[in-house]
Structures are given as C-alpha cells and as structure tokens.
Structure 1
Amino acid sequence: MEKNDTPGKFEIVKPVETGLWGKIKSVDMRYQVWKWGVIFTDNSFLYVFFYFIFSVIGNFSFFVFAIHLLDVAISVKALSTILKSITHNGRQLLLTIMLMAVVVYLYTVIAFNFFRKFYTKEEDEEKEENCKDMFTCFKFHLYSGIRAGGGIGDELESPNGDPLELYRIVFDITFFFFIIVILLAIIQGLIIDAFGDLREQLDSVKETLESKCFICGIGQDYFDKEPHGFETHTTAEHNFANYLFFLTHLLNKPDTEHTGQESYVWEMYQSRRWDFFPIGDCFRRQYEPGGGGATAES
C-alpha cells in the first residue's frame, strides 16, 4: 500500500504476478495471433516450407526433385513477376474462365440436340462417338474445341451438302467468335495487363525509394543542396533499419521496463498508429530559420 499525494488517501498497488501464470498473462495475445498469421501467410515462408517437404519426399521418389527446378522462377525477379501476373487478377481470371465454361456448355447442349451426327468419326472401321452423351460432348468441346485454332469446326466432319449445313456454319462461326476470339483473348489480356501493372508498380516503388526518404517522405532535392545529403540522411539520420530494430527492441522488452519515450511509442504501436514517425520533418528542417529551433526530432 502506497500513500497518495492527496492527504488522507491511500492507493492500493496490485502485486505483480510471477511464475508460469504471470508469464502467460503478460503475453500480448493480439500480437502473437498477428505474428503467426503473418508467418503462415508469408509467401517466402510457404515457399521454403513446401521446398523442404518436397525435399523430404524426394528421398523416397526421385521424380519429386524435379519440382525444385521451379526455383529458377523464384530466384530470377523477372520470372517471379511473370508468375505473379497470373494471380494478380486471379478473381477476374477465374470468373472469365467460369463464363467461358458456361458458354461452352450452352454450345454443347445445342450440339447434342441438333448436330450429334457430325461428332461421329470412322477410322480403320472403328467408330468414334465424341458426343454420345452430355458429359462426353462437353469434355470434347472443352478439350478439342478450345485448343483448335479455328474452334470446334476444325474437329468436326464437313457439313457440305447436308440439310443442316447453314445451321452448322452459324454454329461453327459463332463458337469461334465468342470462345476463341473474345473469351480467350480476354484471358490473355488479363494476364498481359497484370504483368504491365506489376512492372509499373515495381518501377514506381523503386523510383520513390530512390527519390524520397522512407521515414519522413521528404524528397531528394531538399537534401542534395549539400554533397551526399540524401545518402547521408537515409543512412545515418533516418535509417529504416534503426526504426525496425527499435520496434523489435520494444517487442522483446517487458512493458514494466519501458522508458517514457518507449511507452509512448509502444502504446501507438499497439493501436497501429504511426504518428511517432517524423512525417515531413527532420533535424535539418528543424534547425532552419523558422523551423522550430532545437526541437528534438520525433
């Protein structure tokens, strides 16, 4: 029990819990959940984890080691960007593929009901029926119709002289137009556009990091009034690694041992506020006329 500043009043101080239960209660569960969530959703960790798993399985089946050849796509930055372009617009890509499957199914229904006889081929006295049921017909349209450069018409018997010749022409041309020309082109366009967007983002980030301080956001032109000004500022005054090490220090230091400044930063970090970063401010600007004199840098 400690005496309060107010005369006649006392403040009860709760004892600090020790032992295993005390250590458990002192753990920041919110941070631990966030930390493990970051670990198990990190692409680098997942890559190394599965790389290790395939390495172990490869000792029982040597063919599994062939998967490790994909390491070249991860090691070379240009190739990794190409892989990311496939998943960058993943939702739009998946929806477009689903739409294409629906359209192909509609053509399958039409073919199964009206043009089934054109899907029968005879080779070496063996009859091959590619549309004997809906599943076989749909599979044939997906596998052969999409792969064919001219659409499903390239895989069917010619309709010359048949009473359904005109309808077959419309069927083949519309399949080619909607599936090959439009939908496949949209899928290719999504991948190409995603690759261009990723390349622009990488170039933009690289340009920003090379021309602005990551900590305060002040541009290179302001510091380069003196020789090596920007380089000195980003390596000595506002070194990103120093801020990272300081946060790591707070994460591993007990709350009860924090200093006043450390408690201030720690409370902001727990609420995910970054006001302690000196945005738009630095020592050099503070010591300029009208810049706040010798005010300490945040």
Structure 2
Amino acid sequence: MHEFYFSNKLFVSTCQAPGTLEPHWSGLLWTAMLISLAIVIALPKPHGIRALIASTILRLIFSVGLQPTLFLLGAFNVCNKIIFLMSFVGNCGTFTRGYRAMVLDVEFLYHLLYLVICAMGLFVHEFFYSLLLFDLVYREETLLNVIKSVTRNGRSIILTAVLALILVYLFSIVGYLFFKDDFILEVDRLPNETAVPETGESLASEFLFSDVCRVESGENCSSPAPREELVPAEETEQDKEHTCETLLMCIVTVLSHGLRSGGGVGDVLRKPSKEEPLFAARVIYDLLFFFMVIIIVLNLIFGVIIDTFADLRSEKQKKEEILKTTCFICGLERDKFDNKTVTFEEHIKEEHNMWHYLCFIVLVKVKDSTEYTGPESYVAEMIKERNLDWFPRMRAMSLVSSDSEGEQNELRNLQEKLESTMKLVTNLSGQLSELKDQMTEQRKQKQRIGLLGHPPHMNVNPQQPA
C-alpha cells in the first residue's frame, strides 16, 4: 500500500504542468529578478546584466514552460542576428564591393551561417542550437589557436598523412599476399530479433519518451505502469571472421585497426606459432608497421601540431607582454616612466588612451569637412593617405615637462665642453702659426747660405775641358 501511494505521488508530481512551482522557489526567483534589475539600473555592468538575463530565463521557464521560452529566445536571437548582420554589412560595405568580395569574406559567411543555424533551430528543430556552441571557439583565442595549429601547417600534415596512407596501402598488399589467413577478428553479431518502432515513430522518440504516459494513445495514466520483470539476456556469442578476403578489406582492416591499436596491426591479428614457416616474416611485418607507421609517421603529425601550437602560444604571450609593457600610441616602454611624476598606467589611461584616439578618428570621419578645425583637417588628410605620422611616436608631454631640467643641465655641460674645445683649438692654431713662421725663416736662411756658397758666374760644369 505504501509503495503504491509513493509511486502514485511520484507519478502525479512528474505529470504536473510546467508552470507550477513551489512558493518559496518562485519567491526566490522573483527576488533574484528584482535585485538584478536594481543592480542593472544602479550600476549597469555586464555581471548585473547577465544575472538579470539568467533570472528572467528561469522565471519564463517555470511560468510559460520550456518550449515557449526556447521559442521566444530563438526568435529574439534571430532578430538580433539579422540586425547585427545588416549593421556589419553596412559598416564593411560588403554589398558595394561586389559578389566576389562578398563570397570571399570569411567573417560575413560565418555570420550568415550563424543566422541560418538560428533560423533552423527556430523553425526546424531545437537540436540545431547545439551547433552554436562552436561559436565559443571563434570567440576564445586559446581555442582558436588549437584550430590554427592544424590549419597553419596543413600542407605538411596532409603530406604526412598521404605518406601514412601509402605505407598502409603497401602493408595491406603484403598482408593480402602472405598473411591473409592471419586477418581473423572477433565480431559481435546483432541478435536476430530486433525491436522495430511502429510506423510514424522515430528511434529518438522511442528513446526519449519510452516511459512517458500517452493519453492520446488510450493508455490509463491514473494507475502506475506495471513493472516488467527483468529477464536476464543471453550472453552474446562472439564469432570470428576473415577480414582480408579482398585487397579492399585488407586496406580497411589495416587502416581501421592498425592505426587505432597502440602496437599496430599485430595486436589485432592472429597470434602465430613459432613453428610456422612465416613466423619470422610475421614478426618483421608487425615490427615494421609499428616503427614506421605508429612511431615515426603518426608522431611526425603530432609533432607538427604540437610545435605549431607552441609557436602560437609564444606569439600570443609575446603580444600580451608587449601590450602590457609598451604604450600602443607612442611606443614608449614602461621603464621610461620610472621615477617620473606620471606612472605608465596613468600614461596609457589618460595621456595616450587608445580609445580616445579611436573616438577622434570616428569623429573626423563622421564630421562635416566644412566644420573641421586646423588639427582635424590635418588628421583627416593623414587618414585618407593612411599615414600615421600624426601619432606622437616616442614622445609624451609628461616626459617633456619632467625632463626639461635634465636637458638644461646637459646643454650647459655641452656648452662648457664646447668653450674648452674652442680654447684648445685657438692655442693649437697659434702654435701652428708660430711653427709655420719658424719653418719659413729656416727655409730663407738655407736659401741665403746656398747663394753665398755658389755664385751664379762660377757655376761651370767640371766635366767640360778648359
């Protein structure tokens, strides 16, 4: 009697309407909605908005049911995606660039596919919404690097896979010619009698709603369903069959079982006896497949993927380090602001805030050219030419004001050094002029001595006869 009462109570509780909810849980949901709404109104931050959306969805599920809530969310998602796609096309000018540019625009095709999946989930079946989980890969850079680790060196991976297929093909030929009788695998055959669902019912509906009481089918839902006695199923007999009767079956067996086995194709074939004539050849066959395919080729593919992922991760870390230690606008590093009146964080948030520059660029683009000021005209011309010279490269106003005294001291030191150098040059010039005068005087004296020692009328060639 107690078992019947408990089972009847459980059956009635499971057949309640979707809108019924216990009072304290309902009050808790309403309280969460009101608190999150107050937080959003007072402090509009993403966390408060997410809490409000989550509490609203839960309230709708218990108020109107799961399927109507899912339909409302799907309709809202489709409308939101249509608006987003229209704004995306308008901002990027996809339709104005022609059909070829529209087809080759990967981002546009991605958002279009997203819209199609949302529409199919709304009008065809709710299971299509599960495909939208892949959007997490598109939004998360770490998961995107996992995909890029395969696609960046895709040519190397494909060529290595082709090499693996060639080796599998060659080993399949050898196995078909010499070891055909060794390809004996255990198989589990299906039982002869299989349950076939009635006409108009799918296997999925039978799996999901096999225990649900159907009123429209004439079943009595007031009394609990009788429990069927469990009949122990007979153990399934395992049979063996040859899987290398043709070359195609050999290729399929080696490709399927050989690559998935840790020790190669030798783990799934028949264990030969040492007295067989082809025992040594079979050992060499198994070892060659293990070393060439399992160890070398597969590890080559894994190594290419792992190395590419490591390179992408190091590039990501390097970019993050540059963004943390270098100003995006001026390019000055963090150590330039050590022992200064302005810290690096204050510099990138107040002086050179990248979003301020972006807002200024948008202002220049949307503003009427007849209302430009002088700097705005200059920047607009630079933007048209794609010239970034208007950015303050390696300069900052805070560093100019703090370094003025140091520059004055350096100029003073340079001036003193210049004056001392000028004095030294003047002394050297005087000494050089004195030395020049002395050399001139010595040359004149030598000329006088030469004239006195050899008069012109006595300069006769001594070899001529008198």
TM-score (norm 1): 0.70
- Alignment partner for residue 41 of structure 1, among 106, 123, 126? 106
Contact preservation (8 Å) 2:185, 2:268? no
Aligned to 2:359: 245
Alignment counterpart, residue 291 of structure 2, candidates 163, 170, 177: 177
Match of 2:314 in 1: 200
Q: 1:6-25 to 2 correspondence within 5 Å?
A: none
Q: Secondary structure at the match of 1:94?
A: helix
1:87-140 deviations in whole A, cap 9, x for unaligned? 444333333223222222222233233333322558789773423333332222
Kindly provide the amino acid, as one letter, of the partner of residue 96 in structure 1.
Answer: T
Matching residue within 233, 241, 257 for 1:144: 257
For residue 114 of structure 1, what is the aligned residue in structure 2? 178
Deviation at 1:236, TM superposition (A): 2.0
Helix, strand or coil at the partner of 1:128: strand
Q: Which amino acid aligns with 2:121?
A: G
Structure 2 residue matching 1:103: 3-state secondary structure: helix
1:219 is displaced (CA, Å) by: 0.8
1:57-72 to 2 correspondences below 5 Å: 57-59=120-122, 60-71=124-135
Q: Deviations over 1:203-230 (max 9, x none)?
A: 2222211111011110112124235521
CA change 1:213–1:140 in 2 (3 A) is same
How many residues are treated as equivalent by the alignment?
260
Rg comparison, structure with higher value: 2
CA 1:243–1:144 in structure 2 vs 1: closer, same or farther (change >3 Å)?
same
Structure 1, 54-63 or 75-84: larger mean CA deviation: 75-84
Could you say if the C-alpha distance between residues 52 and 29 of structure 1 is closer, same or farther in structure 2, counting changes exceeding 3 Å?
closer
CA contact (8 A) 2:184 2:240 kept: yes
Q: 1:235 aligns with which of 349, 370, 373?
A: 349
Matches within 5 A, 1:149-164: 149-160=262-273, 161-164=275-278
Structure 1 residue 260, shift from structure 2 partner: 5.8
In the alignment, the residues of structure 1 paired with residue 186 and residue 329 of structure 2 have an alpha-carbon distance, to the nearest angstrom, of 73
Distance in 1 (alpha carbons) for counterparts of 2:316 and 2:238:
60
- Check 1:139–1:273 CA distance in 2 against 1; reply closer, same or farther (3 A cut): farther
Q: Which runs of no fewer than 5 residues in structure 1 stay unpaired?
A: 1-27, 292-298
Cα offsets for 1:271-293 (capped at 9, x unmatched): 544333322222234454459xx
CA–CA separation in structure 2 for the residues paired with 1:238 and 1:81: 30
* Residue of structure 1 equivalent to 2:198: none
Distance 1:192 1:229 in 2: 40
Q: What are the residue-to-residue correspondences of 1:210-289 with 2, within 5 Å?
A: 210-226=324-340, 228-252=342-366, 261-262=375-376, 264-287=378-401, 288-289=403-404
2:116 equivalent to 1:53: yes
C-alpha separation in 2, matches of 1:204 and 1:125: 57
Q: TM-score, with normalisation over the residues of structure 2?
A: 0.47
Considering only aligned residues, what root-mean-square deviation do their CA atoms show, in Å?
3.8
- Aligned partner of residue 113 in structure 1, secondary structure: helix
CA separation of 1:260 and 1:185: change in aligned 2, threshold 3 A: same
Deviations 1:228-283 (A, max 9, x none): 52122212221111222233344445777766655554555455443333222222
Inter-CA distance 147–270: structure 2 relative to 1 (3 Å threshold):
farther
For residue 243 of structure 2, what is the aligned residue in structure 1? 130
Q: Tell me if 1:104 matches 2:159.
A: no
2:138–2:144 Cα contact (<8 Å) kept: yes
SS in structure 2 at match of 1:185: helix
2:166 alignment partner, SS class: helix
Tell me, in whole angstroms, the C-alpha distance in 1 between the residues paired with 2:380 and 2:369.
9
Give the secondary-structure state (helix, strand or coil) at the position aligned to 1:156.
Answer: coil
- Structure 2 stretches lacking a partner, 5+ long: 1-91, 188-236, 409-466
